[in-house]
Structure 1
Amino acid sequence: MSERRRATQGALALLPVFPLALLVGRVWLMGNGDPQTMILLIANLSPAGLMVVLFGSLLWMVPILLLTARLAEGYRRISDPSGGWPFGLNLRVPLWLTGVAACVAVLTWQLRYLPALGAILVVIVALGFREAYPGNRLLILATGVGLPVLVLAAEYYLIFVDAVEAAVLDGQAVTGLLLLLPPLLAVFLTGPLPAFAARPAILLPALSVLILVPMLITTSYLRAPLLPLVAIEVTTEEGQEPFPPVIVGYVITAQDHVVTVMDREGAVVFVGSDRIGGQVLCPASGDDEEPAVAFLGWPADRSLIDQLLPEADTVETDRRCQGRVRSTVTDAAGGP
């Protein structure tokens, strides 16, 4: 018991290393591995901003770990009650924490993943009732067969039928499968597994999730923006250092006499404040694209919390964000 406790304490002591490695990797990637650029970024990046981006990357993935652990433990209890997890693992997740994880997932997961979330919750509920009331066949039948079929019918005919059709017609096979398969699979996954296949069938998916989730966290964080993307109009007079008429990049720092910008290729440019003719905040890549698949009027590639936020005024993307100078016709009309 003492050895297991020491191993647990050692694992907890190593937990801060992962976020720290992510922060270092993000700065290294953003600076293209150049030491001077990395020093400049570290000197001007806000630690709070780095942690907020890291927290945002972690938030929607924590429910994956918790719900997978709850699901795997439920299968183990009804399929192989006498067996245990290797390496002293304990995957017991309290009911209240499962509920919190489900609420966070509903709010933060993209809508295309909600059918998978619904299937996971249906299976967890069915396995829980089967374990708690093993002699009540009517209740087991209601939760193990009736509930999945009811959820399947509701999702197919009331919510996702138009979205599945739109995904198929648009050639988005992955989105179509994400909407179509999970409710159907839930009907067949609410019972115990054969004893001889229970351990590998439960252990392999659980370990796969434990391996893949850190990879997803790393990928999501390394791609997350840390600085505002801005398009700056630059004026060049005779005798001054030539600059492109429009510089699109990330503002590292803005002072009274100079603005430090890193373009999308990673090159750092220092622009005098007296040469800036105008600037505009640009949307992240892909923010202005209209998704092809939607259900209930909501885009499938957005989360529910995105839909609940106040809608911003729809404004056409400024041409300066594409590296182009504003036309005089547009200026005269009062546009961007």
Structure 2
Amino acid sequence: MTDIFVKGGPIPTRRRRAQMNWLFTVLPAFPLVLLVLRLWYLSQQDLPTMLLLVQYISPLGMISALFITLIWTVPAVILVLRALGGILLVSAPDDAGRSMLAVTALRMPDWVVLLATMLAAFTWQLRLLPTLGMLVVSILGLTAVLRFRTERWIMLWNTIGVPVLVGLLVLIFVWPGIIEAVRAGEITTALLLGVPPLLGPLLTGPVPAWSARLVTHWPAVGAALVAPLAVGVIFLRAPVLPNSAVEVGPAAGPIHVERGQLISVDDTSTTMLQTDGTVIFIPNDQVRSKVLCPEPVRPPDSAVTVRGWQVEESALSWIAPTHRDKEVDPRCLGRPLNPS
């Protein structure tokens, strides 16, 4: 049997396969487009420079930068699809057979949701963790409604009791941050911390059938349209070449410092990309020293903390070791190490 049967009739096999073929075609092409656009952006729209970067930049390095930069988006897509599809399944079961959103949620394994939740818990910023809790309790409640229609008190506990209890615990934990955000005038941070715990109990049951597609499909369509643009903007600013400073000068002459992104080092020269998009080739016999410069630390957009945890930091940033230079090498500032 090849058709998927739910209330409302099956989705035709040919139509489903055609949709999946388009999806499988677009998904591998999207990261490739991002990588090409990143090189185009890095070369400042200069084709010869872009071709030079393509020749020397490691694809594995760019894929690693893409993975580290956008790893948080994977659980976001999985959890939102599962939550919206579950709402549609319990709200309009007669229409679910014609919705790829509902079928995707229905066929998504539980272990995928569990791994996505664990990944989000480690990679999402603190101010997004209340939203994660809202999605998790919503998925748990909707799953209970779909699979475990048992005693009424058990269903009430799964769909109302658990979301209310989790929301209360989250509010207790983030309450100092909400107060601090309101006092600092950061309304967006206050809303991200305080609103999701209140919405959890409202997302575990059905919505009116006439509005089911409106509150599920249109948010999914809007997210699908906005997400590639947001992902592209974020990745275009991600570093893919190491920032370096090179002392250049003859053996017995004045020394100056060249700063930029190191492209390659071969037998004859060192190739660097400067901030204005200019590529320079430095003869190796004039290279006096090199140093790897740290990425400039961006000041946080928010000064709010929750029990000592900065709201823009993730659990992974706390657990993983972080390299921070206490002193800035003078070469990274454009000054020779030992000025004469």
What TM-score range do you get, normalising by the shorter chain?
0.7 to 0.9
Q: Does 1:119 align with 2:146?
A: no
Quick one: structure 1 residues 301 and 326, their matched pair in 2 at CA, closer, same or farther if it must change by over 3 Å? Answer: farther
Partner of 1:5: 17
Partner of 1:28: 40
Q: Does 1:316 align with 2:331?
A: no
Find the residue that maps to 1:191 and give its secondary structure: coil
CA separation in 1, counterparts of 2:300 and 2:20?
46
Partner of 2:124: 109
Q: Does 1:91 align with 2:96?
A: no
Find the residue that maps to 1:187 and give its secondary structure: helix
CA separation in 1, counterparts of 2:80 and 2:233?
20
Partner of 2:217: 203
Partner of 2:175: 161
Partner of 1:334: none
Q: Which runs of 5+ in 2 are unaligned?
A: 1-12
Partner of 1:132: 147
Q: Does 1:265 align with 2:276?
A: yes
| Aligned-partner residue type, residue 142 of structure 2 | L
Deviations 1:191-222 (A, max 9, x none): 21111111111111121222222223222222
Q: How many residues are paired up? A: 325
Partner of 2:304: 293
CA separation in 2, counterparts of 1:263 and 1:201?
49
Deviations 1:89-140 (A, max 9, x none): 5322221111111111112222221111111101111122223344532122
Whether the 8 Å CA contact 1:232–1:248 is kept in 2: the answer is yes
Q: Which runs of 5+ in 1 are unaligned?
A: 332-336
**Counterpart among 53, 56, 63 of residue 44 in structure 1:** 56
Whether the 8 Å CA contact 1:44–1:252 is kept in 2: the answer is yes
| Aligned-partner residue type, residue 294 of structure 2 | P
Partner of 1:146: 161
Moved more, 293-302 or 186-195: 293-302
Quick one: structure 1 residues 14 and 203, their matched pair in 2 at CA, closer, same or farther if it must change by over 3 Å? Answer: closer
| Aligned-partner residue type, residue 199 of structure 1 | R
Pairwise CA RMSD: 2.9
| Aligned-partner residue type, residue 27 of structure 2 | L
Moved more, 189-198 or 133-142: 133-142
Whether the 8 Å CA contact 1:227–1:251 is kept in 2: the answer is yes
4+ runs deviating over 6 angstroms: 236-240, 288-291
Identity over aligned pairs, percent: 34
| Aligned-partner residue type, residue 141 of structure 2 | A
